[in-house]
Chains A and B, each alone.
Chain A
Amino acid sequence: MSAAKRVQQWATFARTWHVFDCKWQDPYESANIIKKYLMGLHKPIYHPLNDCGDVVVCINSRNIALRGDDWRQRAYFHHTGYPGGASWTLAWELHNKDPTLIIKKAVYRAMKGNLQRRHTMERLFIYPGEHIPAEVQQNVSNQIRQIRRVPERLDHIPEEEVKNFPKVMDYPENYILK
């Protein structure tokens, strides 16, 4: 085997570490993307019996964005197994308790429920903030593209730019500005 072929062999079967920035991303939409990288569905050599999944590191999971009223409409169900042990936790309550759980459950549910699922989940790292431990960060070599653009706040845009932005609406003639 030539040196080039050997390197190609390594590169094909090595685990790549991807980073995904969850800031302002919908966890349920990004779960479908993260799932593909975790299971190795993005690789041409994919086969369910072939352990070719990658590692995904999610950062900023505290700053995920849910759509519309979902923060108070989505409930997470848990049952302790005892009579009367059912409990429903709203999404915002769950996010208060642990800011990594919503994205974790979303990825878990996006995958098919088989024996492999829990092993695949072991390859998902979620961090609530920007900070990643150094031993994780040194492996990261790729970034997954975000689905939604992070919206820009009006008070973070420089005032000069706001003033010189093309205007659509003009005031009527005898309007007094407040």
Chain B
Amino acid sequence: MAALVRAGFLSAKNTVLSTTVRCLSTTKPLRLKEIKEQREGTTLVVEAVTAASPRSELLVRAEKIKDLVPIVTEASAKPCYMCALGLDVKHTDVLILSQFVRTDGCMLPRRITGLCRRQQKKIGKMVSMAQKAGLMINLTPAACKKDPTRRREHKKFNTYFDENTIFMKKIPKPVDRFKR
């Protein structure tokens, strides 16, 4: 009886709280704007300061590398930062690919990543390859089957991908390499 009363009380409290209390946050560890309070004499100054991105000092850019041979493009258009670096990224390079995704493993759109069309497509495909191979299972929605060994049927075994298939219009059927 006591438990029932307590449960009823809790649910009533929850409904009251959820309707009346708004979730307001002043600081969040990774928001790029943070609120600073400063006391000058008797007045309290509250201001929002643009916080530096946590990645800025680790950033690698082609302009900063001295002995990098710049990629020659026939058009005068400036290559995007990924093209300029000329990295050979594979789908197993999860340390690089995880920079382009949200915390739920979803690829960021092009207006945020700032990539060119081709690189956005390439990176996006490689992110999904890494997710299918189960290499970034800590960056997944909460409800999905994270561990590949707990997936069903053909999805539970190890799979690797060929990056050359990314820009193929149609992936050719697997050839029998041992056929005589």
Q: Which residues of chain A have a CB within 8 Å of any CB of chain B?
A: 24, 26, 28, 63-68, 70-74, 90-92, 95, 106, 109-110, 113, 148-149, 151-155, 157, 161-162, 164-178
Residue pair B95, A28 in contact (C-beta under 8 Å)? no
List the A side residues contacting B33 at CB < 8 Å: 174
Q: Given the complex of chains A and B, what is the CA–CA distance between A154 and B93 in angstroms?
A: 9
State A91–B92 Cα separation when bound (angstroms): 23
A178, B102: Cβ atoms closer than 8 Å: yes
B81 touches A168 (CB 8 A): yes
Q: How far is the CB of A56 from chain B (nearest CB, A)?
A: 18
The 8 closest A-B pairs by CB, nearest first: A65-B158, A71-B154, A151-B92, A92-B154, A177-B30, A155-B138, A167-B55, A109-B178
A168 touches B137 (CB 8 A): no
| Complex alpha-carbon distance, A107 and B71, angstroms | 43
Q: Is the CB of B158 within 8 A of A68?
A: no
The 27 listed contacts between A and B (C-beta, < 8 Å) are A64-B157, A68-B161, A68-B165, A70-B174, A91-B154, A92-B157, A95-B157, A109-B178, A154-B94, A154-B139, A157-B95, A167-B55, A167-B58, A167-B59, A168-B59, A168-B60, A168-B82, A169-B100, A169-B113, A169-B114, A171-B55, A172-B111, A173-B32, A175-B112, A176-B31, A178-B102, A178-B103
CB neighbours (8 Å) of B113 from chain A are 169
Establish whether residues B60 and A92, one from each chain, have CB atoms under 8 Å apart when the complex forms: no
Per the 8 Å Cβ criterion, residues 78-111 of B in contact with A are 81-82, 85, 87, 92, 94-96, 98-100, 102-103, 108, 111
- Least CB distance, A153 to chain B, in whole angstroms: 5
Are A72 and B154 within 8 A (Cβ)? Answer: yes
B residues lining the A interface (CB < 8 Å): 28, 30-33, 50, 53, 55-56, 58-60, 81-82, 85, 87, 92, 94-96, 98-100, 102-103, 108, 111-114, 133-139, 153-162, 165, 171, 174, 177-178, 180
- Docked-complex contact A71 and B157, CB < 8 angstroms: yes
Q: Are A166 and B94 in contact (CB under 8 A)?
A: no
A68-B98 contact in complex given A151-B92, A167-B58, C-beta closer than 8 Å: no
Q: Take A65-B160, A68-B159, A170-B56 as given contacts and tell me if A154 and B32 are in contact as well, using a CB distance cutoff of 8 Å.
A: no
Q: Are B160 and A170 in contact (CB under 8 A)?
A: no
Closest partner residue, chain A, to B162 (CB atom): A67
User: For A148, what are the chain B residues with a Cβ–Cβ distance below 8 Å?
Assistant: 160
Not counting A72-B153, A153-B94, a sample of 20 additional A-B residue pairs whose C-beta atoms are within 8 angstroms of each other reads A24-B158, A66-B159, A67-B162, A71-B154, A91-B154, A92-B153, A92-B154, A152-B94, A153-B135, A153-B137, A157-B95, A167-B55, A167-B60, A168-B81, A169-B100, A170-B53, A170-B55, A171-B112, A175-B112, A177-B32
